[in-house]
Structure formats: C-alpha cells, structure tokens
Chains A and B, each alone.
Chain A
Amino acid sequence: MTALHQTTEVVDPVPGAQAPHLPQQPDLVQLLTPEGERVEHPDYSLDISEDELRSLYRDLALVRRWDVEATALQRQGELGIWASLLGQEAAQVGAGRALAPSDMAFPTYREHGVAWVRGVDPLDVISLFRGVDNGGWDPVATGFNLYTVVIGAQCLHATGYAMGVQRDSAETAVLAFLGDGATSQGEVNESLIWAATFSAPVVFFCQNNQYAISVPIERQSRVPLFQRAAGFGFPGVRVDGNDVLAVLAVTKAALAAAREGQGPTFIEAFTYRMGAHTTSDDPTRYRLASELEEWKLRDPIARLKAYLSRSGIADHDFFDSVDAEADELAVRIRQGTVEMVDPPGPSMFDHVYAEQTPTLAAQRAEFVEYHASFADGEHARPDEVTPGPGEDVF
C-alpha cells in the first residue's frame, strides 16, 4: 500500500472556511519551502537529477514568459481573451512532468503549463484565444486533449477514457484537470463516482487557486477539497501547488498507482491565481491586495530559483540563458500571433460531421456563392474558395 492509499484522515478546513468545529489546517505535502529550502516528506520522496531540476526551472520560467506575453497581446487587441496561469506554473509543470508519454491529460482552459510540457506549440494554444480555431494541436499525438471550456465536463471524458484504457489493458494513466469551482459541478461529482465504481486509472488534479472567478473557495466547499475523495472511496491528498517538486512527486505516485490498477486519486494542489480569472476580469473588486502580497512570498518560481542558486545547482549563466531563451520565445509568440491568418469562411462547415450532410453541404455552397457575389466589390473576402470537383456539395 502506497502512501496515497491509506485512509484519508479527516482534518480541518481551508483558512477562513468558517467551520470552527473542525480542527486546524492540515500540513501540505511540501518538498521545497517558500524560502527555497529542500525538505523531506515521510510519504513522498523525489529522486531527481540536477539536470532535471534545471529543466524544471526552465519550464516554469518559459511558461510564465509565454503567459505574460499573451496577456500583453490581449491588451494590445491581438487576442480576444487570455486566461492567465500566473502563480500556477508549478502546479501545472509539476503535474505535466509527472505524465508518461503514453498517458493522457484532459485540461480545462488554463493548463498552458501542461500544454508546454506535452510539447504543444504555444501558438496552437494562442490561436484559440485569438479566435482562429478551438485549439490547433493534435490531442491524440500530444496526449493532451483540447481545452474544455464548460466547467468540469472534461472530468467525465477523462474517466471514460480511463475506462477504455482498462478495456485495452494498457499501461496508461489519465490525468484530469479541474479547478476549485468545478468541484461544485454535478458532472465532476459523477466522474468521481464513476472513477471509484470502476476503479478507473484516472487521477483528478484540482488546482485550488482559491477563486472561481470572484467567488472564494468557502462558497464551494465546507471541507478541504482533498477530503472529498474519502467520501467517494479513494485517496485524496493536498500538495503545495507552488512547490513544483512536491507536485511532481505526488502526481507521479498517483499516476503510478493508477497504472498499477489501484484506481483513482484526488490531488488538491493548493495554489493561488496571482492574476485575474481572465483578461476580462478585475480581481480588485473581490480580493484584498494584501492577500496577493502574501502569496507573492510563496511564488513558485522564486523558491526554485533560490534553491538552485543556494545549492549551487545553477549559476548566473544558467539563469541568464533561460532569460534569453524566454525573450526569444516571447518574440516568437508575438510574431506568430500577429502573423496568424484568419481561417477561410467556408471552413466552418467542414468538420461539423465526419460524414457531411446534404443539408449542410448545400448551406456551404450557398455561403460560398453569396460571398462570391461580392467578388468585385468591397465586401469580398480574399480567402473564399469555391468547392472543387471532388467535394461533396449537394
């Protein structure tokens, strides 16, 4: 029996949960303190090379740079919206790095850090927020599903996928991402029931960033989220979501347990959304500046940098090279974004069905014909195409 599969002890609520009959705040699983001090945990150890540590830092720094650039691009009108991951880099990179290549991840719409680790091109994520498509990457090739915007819907997909893995007798684990707000959704609770009932190889990775847009966690749950797992009949664990090492260790253990047939685990990564919910949000309306200042002291990147510097694992040259690489990435993202071309109008008709219907083919033809009627006028769209001889137009 692994540490994960011991009975979950009933402890106390999150700070401010207004449930005084419950005892004190539980310990988080932590391997790196906010000050950058490496500590041990009795249940979770991490055997990690210096190369890997530096590469974790690189991921965190590059992902943050991507995020900052995307926010700027939105402010400049190049993106319709951006959902920032600022502050959640360690939770995402740690969870993503715990995945094996053959594992499958089901993100929400904020898992840019996981996308990065899975090898998804940032521009294929940006294209969604620019309105060019609904996500340009290949979910099968990357093992990273497309973003799901309806809150919590992907937890059922992950569970069903894991049921397929069971039927295939595959050595694959599934990682379902969700946020604290999503834990109130019926579908998320159904996914936990399904996963438990069928002992599906799925790990639920909940980034508790303390807010569902503006509504604080106290409005979603009276108990710490990881304790919910006990009620469904599988282990729950709370990890310091700003500690990339702890997240990596805990997620690896949970995924290994899933692959070994021990069923699901619920991980609550305790973190903080340092930015707005999205670029359309104004967090000053619902949270105090002092709270943000407090969380800045627990910054996920600063603590790893402190550890790497102090222990001599990385030096100035290394950090400078990462900074330079981050700047190059930002330039590539900026350039790729502004150069991104709009999709051709008729493309909206093309993948509604695997087998096109005559009705929709006729609508497509009408659309093309209508726009072609402006061919010499100012309304003409340069990207219009008329159906070729091989195309199925009714």
Chain B
Amino acid sequence: MTETLTIGKALNLGLRRAMEDDAKVVLMGEDIGKLGGVFRITDGLQKDFGDDRVVDTPLAEAGILGTAVGLAMRGYRPVCEIQFDGFVFPAYNQIVTQVAKIHARSRGKLPMPIVIRIPFGGGIGAVEHHSESPEAYFAHTAGLKVVAVSNPVDAYWGIQQAIAHPDPIVFLEPKRRYWEKAPVDPDATPEPLFASRVVRGGDDLTVLAYGPMVKTALQAAEAAAEEGRSLEVVDLRTLSPLDLGPVFESVRRTGRCVVVHEAPVTLGLGSEIAARITEQCFYSLEAPVLRVGGYDTPYPPSKLEEEYLPDLDRVLDAVDRSLGF
C-alpha cells in the first residue's frame, strides 16, 4: 500500500525488508542499535532483529569495515553505517585495499557483498567533518560501485537492491534531504539500481545532478521555466558505474550541459562526465560542459556553507553562461 515516507523512513523500511528477506544481512555501525543511529535510520531494528544482526560496534571505522570483510567471507551480507561522511577515512584503507580488491585478488572466489552507507553532503549547519562529499575517492577505486539516492522511492528500493547485489557498494544518502517526503509504493516494480533517470524533460540544456543536488537542479529548472528556458534534469543515481546513455541522448538534443555536485569541482565526478560527454557528443555540443560544485577548499565553517554549496542561483548562472556561449 502506498505510503508517504521521508527518505529516512524509506531507508529504515528498506533495511527492515532486506533483513526479513535474507537472514545473512547484518547491520553494523556506531550507535545504530538502541539509539537507532544518529539519524534514526536503523530505528527499531535491533529491537526486532536482535543485537547479533544489528550490531553496535566499538567506535572504530576501520574495525567496522575490516570485520565486515571477514563476515562477508563467512557468507554474511554486512551493511555498514558510517556515521558521517568525514568519518569514513579511518576505514579508507580497508575499503580501498581490501573491500574493493578481494574479489579480483581471489579471482572471484571471495565475493564482497558489503554495503557502506554514508550520509553525505552539507547544508545542515554542522561542525567540521560532517558535511563532506567523498564520492570521487570511491568512484575512482576499481572494485567498488557507488550510488547516490535523491528521493524516498530510490531510498526504499535502492538500499534493498544494494544489499542484494554481489559487489561492494558505497551507498550515499543525502543527509540534508533525509526529511523530504514522497509516496512510496512497496508493491511497485523498482527501477534498476545502476541506471540514471530523466526527472524533468526539457529542450534547451541538460542539467546533471545526484543526491542532494537533484532537488536544487529541479528548483533551478522551475525558475528557468518562468523565464522561458526549458531545462532537462537527469538524476545520475549511479556514480560508478556511470550510466551516461540517457545523458548522451539528452545532450545530443539540447547541445548544452551543466553538471552539479557539492564536491569540489577539480577532479570531481563532473570532470569525468564532461570528458565523456565531449568524447561522445562532440559534434552536438554548442558550449563546453560546465561544472557547478564546491570550491577547492576544505568544507568551510557552516556560516559560510551557503556560499560554498551550489544553489539555484549558481546553477542558473552556469545555465546563463552556457546559453550565452
């Protein structure tokens, strides 16, 4: 039955359903048990599934990922919660040198069906290390897959699909959008996990975004429409592998493209996407692919974050520059 859910609640229900479907699913993380996680994404799950399946771990991220590797070798499907994006780095060694490589190292004998849930991105007025966008580090790492959800429907299905998938997946949750609501139909047929999606049709320019920036891109398209400009918006959804087929199709039609993400622009996802669009759509382009993102600074103190993060105006500014080219 269709229910209106926040992204947070959709994740919670998705996790619950994944745990019901497969007894090998084990959740691990800091404060995810009694507390239900600092964002309450695992609320009530320990009570219903027990502390062997919803494990409050010691406070050490490398420990979470390293023991998840061992559990995966033993046939379990660990779902690791990293409390905040900036705290994933103590686990970075395990993720990059072990989780990502063990399937290849063992020539397929040791699958690593591990999901690494990370609330990512800024905009919540937090202190340092609580607002970062580390996706490029993971998308750059062979052996990992990376997805970012932007809405409750994708959150509900995506977490279940990620858990059922045989490869390790960094699952990025748009923390500032946890409270956004939408109707979710648990009986619907979900879209594939590794597919991008056109979320608003348009003819003049293609805007690409993922995670928290999808809403920003849609707002920009709405504002542009009032000025008679028709923007197409694509939610990338999967960052590794990228699904750029629909993007190429769109850009060949519009001839212009702006990529939006919170992460710093230099060597961010936008750079790779711009390169691929240039390779595939060269003769259709009317303007260079433009990137709108965070600046190449450490994430600033929160009183400055509104100026750091791409917003409707910065997206429209890039749209203007592209159309004026």
What is the interface of chain A, defined by CB distance below 8 A to chain B? 133-135, 138-140, 145-146, 148, 150, 153, 155-168, 186-187, 190-191, 193-194, 197, 350-355, 357-360
B 44-69 contacts with A by CB, 8 A: 52, 57-58, 60, 62-63, 65-69
What residues of B have a CB within 8 angstroms of the CB of A193 in the complex? 58, 60, 63
Contact B241 A359 (CB under 8 A): yes
Q: Give which listed residue, B52, B68, B97, B242, contacts A150 with CB less than 8 A.
A: B97
Given known A145-B73, A187-B93, A194-B58, contact A157–B166 (CB-CB < 8 A) = no
Binary per-residue interface labels of chain B (141-165) against chain A in the complex, 1 for a CB within 8 Å, 0 otherwise = 0110100000000000000000001
Give A159 to B106 CA distance when docked, in angstroms.
Answer: 19
- Interface of A, helix, strand, loop or mixed by DSSP: helix
Nearest CB in chain B to that of A162: its residue: B70
User: Does B104 reach chain A (CB closer than 8 Å)?
Assistant: yes
What is the interface of chain B, defined by CB distance below 8 A to chain A? 26, 52, 57-58, 60, 62-63, 65-76, 78, 90, 93-94, 97-98, 102-111, 113, 142-143, 145, 165-167, 194, 240-243
Nearest CB in chain A to that of B62: its residue: A187
Give A146 to B68 CA distance when docked, in angstroms.
Answer: 17
Give A159 to B113 CA distance when docked, in angstroms.
Answer: 18
Expressed in whole angstroms, the minimum distance between the Cβ of A138 and any Cβ of chain B is: 6
Give A164 to B72 CA distance when docked, in angstroms.
Answer: 8
Nearest CB in chain B to that of A168: its residue: B74
Interface centre among B105, B109, B113 (most CB of A within 10 A): B105
Expressed in whole angstroms, the minimum distance between the Cβ of A91 and any Cβ of chain B is: 23
Give A138 to B63 CA distance when docked, in angstroms.
Answer: 25
Contact B106 A139 (CB under 8 A): yes
Q: Give which listed residue, B69, B74, B166, contacts A354 with CB less than 8 A.
A: B166
Can you give 25 contacting A-B residue pairs, CB < 8 Å? A134-B104, A134-B105, A150-B93, A150-B98, A153-B98, A157-B70, A157-B98, A160-B67, A160-B68, A160-B70, A160-B73, A161-B70, A164-B74, A165-B74, A167-B26, A190-B60, A190-B66, A194-B57, A350-B107, A352-B104, A354-B167, A355-B167, A357-B241, A358-B241, A359-B242
What residues of B have a CB within 8 angstroms of the CB of A157 in the complex? 66-67, 69-70, 73, 98
What residues of A have a CB within 8 angstroms of the CB of B71 in the complex? 160-161, 163-164
Expressed in whole angstroms, the minimum distance between the Cβ of A167 and any Cβ of chain B is: 6
Contact A190 B62 (CB under 8 A): yes
What residues of B have a CB within 8 angstroms of the CB of A197 in the complex? 58
Interface centre among A133, A135, A150, A160 (most CB of B within 10 A): A160
Expressed in whole angstroms, the minimum distance between the Cβ of B194 and any Cβ of chain A is: 8
Beyond the given A153-B93, A156-B65, A351-B108, could you list 19 further A-B residue pairs with CB under 8 A, ordered by the A residue number?
A: A140-B109, A148-B98, A150-B97, A153-B97, A157-B70, A160-B72, A163-B67, A163-B70, A164-B70, A187-B93, A190-B60, A194-B63, A353-B167, A354-B103, A354-B108, A354-B166, A354-B167, A357-B194, A357-B241
Contact B97 A191 (CB under 8 A): no
What residues of A have a CB within 8 angstroms of the CB of B90 in the complex? 186
What residues of A have a CB within 8 angstroms of the CB of B102 in the complex? 146
Give A135 to B110 CA distance when docked, in angstroms.
Answer: 13
Expressed in whole angstroms, the minimum distance between the Cβ of A153 and any Cβ of chain B is: 6
What residues of A have a CB within 8 angstroms of the CB of B57 in the complex? 194
Contact B241 A156 (CB under 8 A): no
What residues of A have a CB within 8 angstroms of the CB of B142 in the complex? 352
What residues of B have a CB within 8 angstroms of the CB of A138 in the complex? 109
Top 8 nearest A-B pairs (CB, nearest first) are A160-B70, A156-B66, A164-B74, A160-B67, A161-B70, A354-B166, A357-B241, A190-B63
Given known A140-B109, A353-B167, contact A159–B67 (CB-CB < 8 A) = yes
Interface centre among A157, A165, A193 (most CB of B within 10 A): A157
Give A134 to B98 CA distance when docked, in angstroms.
Answer: 13
Give A244 to B165 CA distance when docked, in angstroms.
Answer: 45
